[in-house]
Amino acid sequence: MILDGKALSRKVREEVKQRVDRIRERDITPRLDAFVADDDPASVAYVGMKHRWGEKAGIVGESYSVTAETKQEWLIEKISELNADPSVHGVLIQHPLPKHLDENAALEALGAEKDVDGISPQSLGRLLAGIPGFRCATPLGMMRILDEYGIECKGKHAVVIGRSIILGKPAALMLLERHATVTICHSRTEDLPSVCRSADILVAAVGRPEMVRGDWIKPGAVVLDAGFNKVEGRDKDVGDVHFESASQVASHITPVPGGVGPMTVAMLLSNVVDAAESVAGER
Ligand code: NAP
């Protein structure tokens, strides 16, 4: 079965819109502001899409350009200003910022109640501790896909390939929270194909086009592919999983595009509305 993240993303955004309509009746307009590196076309495109989809759901927001001239002091001051501004419900620091800026310090300066992307040390600490807080949008989107299709994690062996802060690690923790037995793999893992073959749920978050082949997959496994890779000569982006061979073996699989990707934006917007609802005392 194809796990249709595109259709589910539409459904989540429709839910978001209904919640925004309700909260606007109380004169609260959810707002997401973002910092984006001006000279990174992918970041500009991602943030543009987040704002466009947000606007369609009634979420407003501003983008602040970060350039080679931007000073760290300005960035931290601006973040503090947004932390203190009650009309701003969420702040996104789009990765990567220009190299001369300290991105970790920026994330540490961001108030946990505004970190709707769920990647600050405060939010990740809350996930680790199992206490409420914003969860990272991409792995949260994967969990929503599992819920939507009634896929149980309890007692299953989940293998996550990748240990990045924004994807692999939080995905592993979320699966653990759902009582899966979790293995995290990375570039030094020995005999990766064998480890993958033991997975009931396989998450690919590697950034290597079509690395995971059909013969790495246990028959009947659930495969979630977070990969999004440009390949020269191919007109569409490809995942970390070789879809043609993997889909012959897996019971459920996310396609690329149209799987995990669209869910990321939908879950981010859902987090923004969560933030606005908690300001309104609704949560
Ligand atoms: P990343 O920070 O580069 O992390 C990649 C991880 O994969 C690292 O932990 C690395 O191991 C591991 N890895 C690399 N090569 C490997 C190999 N040959 N065997 C085993 N493990 C290997 O990437 P990321 O930001 O997590 O992104 C991963 C993928 O998801 C990319 O394709 C990216 O475009 C995509 N992505 C999608 C969304 C979305 O919204 N759908 C959002 C973010 C990212 P080490 O730690 O040992 O180096």
- Backbone phi, psi, residue 272, to 5°: -60, -40
Class of domain 27-126: alpha beta
Question: How far apart, in whole angstroms, are the C-alpha atoms of residue 132 and residue 123?
Answer: 9
Indicate which atom in ligand 1 lies nearest the CA of residue 265: 40
Ligand 1, from 187, 191, 202: best to mutate by most atoms within 8 Å of Cβ? 187
Domains of the chain, by residue range, sit at 27-126, 137-261
Write the DSSP symbol of residue 185: E
User: What pLDDT, on the 0 to 100 scale, is given for residue 255?
Assistant: 98
Question: How far apart, in whole angstroms, are the C-alpha atoms of residue 196 and residue 206?
Answer: 13
Q: Is 281 helix (H, G, I), strand (E, B) or coil?
A: coil
CA atoms lying within 13 Å on the CB side of residue 25: 5
Which residues, 6 or more positions from 220, have their beta carbon under 8 angstroms from its beta carbon?
A: 200, 249, 250, 251
- What pTM was computed for the model? 0.96
Tell me the CA distances in angstroms from 179 to 158, 171, 172, 222, 253, one per residue in order.
10, 13, 11, 16, 21
Question: How far apart, in whole angstroms, are the C-alpha atoms of residue 260 and residue 280?
Answer: 30
**Do 137-261 and 27-126 have the same topology in CATH?**
yes
User: What pLDDT, on the 0 to 100 scale, is given for residue 14?
Assistant: 98
Chunk the chain into consecutive blocks of 10 residues (it has 283) and report each block's average pLDDT, rounded to whole numbers: 98 98 95 96 94 97 96 98 97 96 97 96 97 97 98 98 97 98 98 98 98 98 96 93 98 97 97 94 78
CA of 18 from ligand 1 middle (Å) equals 34
Out of 3.40.50.720, 3.20.20.140, 3.40.50.300, 2.60.120.20, the CATH code matching 137-261 is 3.40.50.720
User: What pLDDT, on the 0 to 100 scale, is given for residue 282?
Assistant: 78
CA of 164 from ligand 1 middle (Å) equals 6
